[in-house]
A and B are shown apart, each in its own frame.
Chain A
Amino acid sequence: MSPTVETLEAMERPPVTMGSRIEGELLEVSIGPQHPSTHGVFRMNVALEGEIVRKLKPVFGYLHRNHEKIGENTSYLGSMPYTDRLDYFCSMTNNWAYALSVEKLAGIEVPERAQYLRVILAELTRLQNHASLLGFLLNDMGAWGTPLMYAFREREKILDLFESLSGSRMMCDYMRFGGCRCDTPPGWMEQAKKIVDRFPRFINELEQLVVGNEVVIGRTQNVGVLSPELAINAGITGPMLRACGVNYDIRKVDGYGFYPRFKFRIPLGEHGDSYDRLMLRVLEMRESLSILQQAFAQIQPGPIVNPKVKIRAFRPPAGEAYGRIEGPKGELGFYLISDGGPNPYRYRVRPPSFINLTVLEDLCLGNTVADVMVILGSVDIVMGEVDR
């Protein structure tokens, strides 16, 4: 898998299509910010020759809220609710990434039960994210909403779990530095176990809908093929990278949290096309279920938060830290620089969707406009994270 020096040198030649001006006899179309299939306010300037895409320039920033500047003006704890709103589908993993970075910065330890709870919530988040992604992708391909509703039916069960635990379905604000905010209410574990036990039935149905379906196969196979060398160089992470065959999962590489205690496999794709990205997410859902079963078996009652951490006037020592997790969309990292004060000096989010969009043009060249939607759906972007 390791690229040779020759291929690296070859990649350093700039690709021919870079440049911001699109001109000539090509038809310029703006697949505009308001579009039902672009996963948010996202715009693509495409230059078409007939139906074939010759140039594609993504334009975003419509949802830019300057989240990093807000982070510089808010205390460490006050930034936690803002991290929910980055990738608004996966608020628990965003919270965990931020809490991990602050714990690295300040050297805080996390008790056992909190670590298990974090793993459980992160895997539940991964389940509902992949389910809704598949639903949206099938929706974009023309299955008018039915698979989306099946996926959302399962997602609602998981969101009900989040609501009874943290108080809010999506903007959970649940992790704290040194643990979690509050303990599970009575009956929550049994409810979660029940949902996880019944989830394979949904994945089986989804596989029956998707795997053999000729329309899906025709629209996604060999569409948007990404080579592993380009993926590594362009900083692609997450299911998009593993669909090309590169075995890099931060849960195994960094071993953060209690992931080393669980046995799970990393599914890898072979061709790097949209079909592989689709099927990889289905396989990842099954692996998440196995992690959840193991976590439910191992979790014990205990303290939920490190008692030495102050809630108010929390001042980590001066220094900097970069903490990252394997979010459902890729590597989500937070880079914090502290100067000893109550607010961070620099607060940076490494957004996986933003960086995964680097190769969008390369994937779409030579394909038709209809394929652009399929490729964009398989990249899995959320504008809250792309624009911050």
Chain B
Amino acid sequence: MIGTGILKGMAVTARNFVGSYFDKERLITVQYPEERDPLPENYRNFPFLIHDGDDQHAGLRCVACKICEKECPPQCIYIVKSDDKKPDYMGKPQFYPKVFDIDISVCMSCQICVEVCPFEAIKMDKDFELSKRERFDALLLRKDELSKSNEYYHKIHPIEAAAVDKNLADAAAAAEAKKKAAAEAAAKAAAAKAASGGGAGSFPGKLTASPKAEIPGSTSARAPTNSLASSGSSSTPASS
């Protein structure tokens, strides 16, 4: 009989319509903004800078190495390096960005800046309710709007933040261990020299075993430990 095909199709529509009252799977409307679906852990929107602790300026992890600016495909990051240095979380003096702007009308949230940053300083935010009233200045985020604390990062990406903290702690521990080993080696060398040569020419014990500071952005993809493992200086063992 002609029309059976259409009737079968109508049965499908009826099943869906009636079923939407009873079956959770058939009713998929989410009454936004009263109810919101939870965002997955990996969701990314625009980048932000991390600062450790409470002070936005002192704890900023970014050292203005300009790698993210170079690698950004639409070139939406603009960095100006500062003239002076400030100590980073391991005590080593580093540059910091005087100006750090991201133009979020250009940014395409590709996450390449996060992948190439060797200092775990820039990560992806999850905030998407970002409507502004004008198109130009309000969509250019400057350094103070971009810096958010490490606790905020833990809140939005708990698993990733835990991994990053573990990496940084491991890097700091490795640097400490290297420093101690170097100091012990230098002390042994100085003691041996004192025992044999009589301490001639007490040149201040240069740490011969200090590891070279690696150039940031070296080959490995996810290795902040390499570039952060540059030891501090000091602790010259006093030769007798």
Interface residues of A (CB under 8 A from B): 74-75, 77-82, 146, 150, 153, 156, 160, 163-168, 171, 173, 181-182, 185, 205, 208-217, 305, 307, 310-312
B42 touches A171 (CB 8 A): no
Task: Known contacts A153-B28, A212-B5, A214-B2; decide if A164 and B41 are in contact (CB<8 Å).
Answer: yes
B109 contacts which chain A residues (CB < 8 A)?
168, 171
Q: Distance in Å from the Cβ of A27 to the closest Cβ of chain B?
A: 33
A305 contacts which chain B residues (CB < 8 A)?
221
Question: Lowest 6 CB-CB distances: which A-B pairs, in order?
Answer: A212-B5, A81-B110, A78-B73, A164-B40, A167-B44, A213-B5
A163 touches B40 (CB 8 A): yes
Q: Distance in Å from the Cβ of A71 to the closest Cβ of chain B?
A: 10
A75 contacts which chain B residues (CB < 8 A)?
71, 73
B42 touches A167 (CB 8 A): yes
A78 touches B112 (CB 8 A): yes
B12 contacts which chain A residues (CB < 8 A)?
205, 208-209
Interface residues of B (CB under 8 A from A): 2-6, 8-9, 11-13, 15-16, 28, 40-44, 67, 71-73, 108-112, 115-116, 124, 159, 217, 219-221
Number of A-B contacts (CB under 8 A): 88
- Nearest to A310 among chain B residues (CB) is B219
- Nearest to B5 among chain A residues (CB) is A212
Q: Distance in Å from the Cβ of B70 to the closest Cβ of chain A?
A: 8
**Which of the residues B2, B5, B112, B159 comes within 8 Å of A77, measured between beta carbons?**
B112
Q: Distance in Å from the Cβ of B139 to the closest Cβ of chain A?
A: 19
A150 contacts which chain B residues (CB < 8 A)?
16
**Which of the residues A74, A79, A82, A166 comes within 8 Å of B42, measured between beta carbons?**
A166
A347 to B221, CA, bound (A): 25
Q: Distance in Å from the Cβ of A32 to the closest Cβ of chain B?
A: 28
A217 touches B13 (CB 8 A): no
A153 contacts which chain B residues (CB < 8 A)?
28
A23 to B11, CA, bound (A): 49
A185 touches B42 (CB 8 A): yes
B108 contacts which chain A residues (CB < 8 A)?
81, 171
A214 contacts which chain B residues (CB < 8 A)?
2-3, 5-6
A213 touches B110 (CB 8 A): no
A209 contacts which chain B residues (CB < 8 A)?
8-9, 12-13
Q: Distance in Å from the Cβ of B230 to the closest Cβ of chain A?
A: 19
B3 contacts which chain A residues (CB < 8 A)?
214
B9 touches A165 (CB 8 A): no
Contacts A/B (CB < 8 Å), 22 sampled: A81-B73, A81-B108, A163-B42, A163-B43, A164-B40, A164-B42, A166-B42, A168-B43, A168-B44, A171-B108, A171-B110, A182-B42, A205-B15, A208-B8, A210-B9, A213-B5, A213-B8, A214-B6, A215-B6, A311-B115, A312-B67, A312-B116
A167 touches B71 (CB 8 A): no
B73 touches A167 (CB 8 A): no
A74 touches B4 (CB 8 A): no
Q: Distance in Å from the Cβ of B210 to the closest Cβ of chain A?
A: 26
- Nearest to B3 among chain A residues (CB) is A214
A214 to B10, CA, bound (A): 12
A74 to B12, CA, bound (A): 50
- Nearest to B9 among chain A residues (CB) is A209
**Which of the residues B5, B13, B219 comes within 8 Å of A146, measured between beta carbons?**
B13
B8 touches A78 (CB 8 A): no
Task: Known contacts A156-B28, A171-B109; decide if A208 and B9 are in contact (CB<8 Å).
Answer: yes
B42 contacts which chain A residues (CB < 8 A)?
163-167, 182, 185
A213 to B217, CA, bound (A): 60
A216 to B8, CA, bound (A): 13
Of B44, B124, B221, most A-chain CB atoms within 10 Å:
B221
B2 contacts which chain A residues (CB < 8 A)?
214
A312 touches B9 (CB 8 A): no
A74 touches B73 (CB 8 A): yes
Q: Distance in Å from the Cβ of B134 to the closest Cβ of chain A?
A: 25
A167 to B216, CA, bound (A): 26
B73 touches A82 (CB 8 A): yes
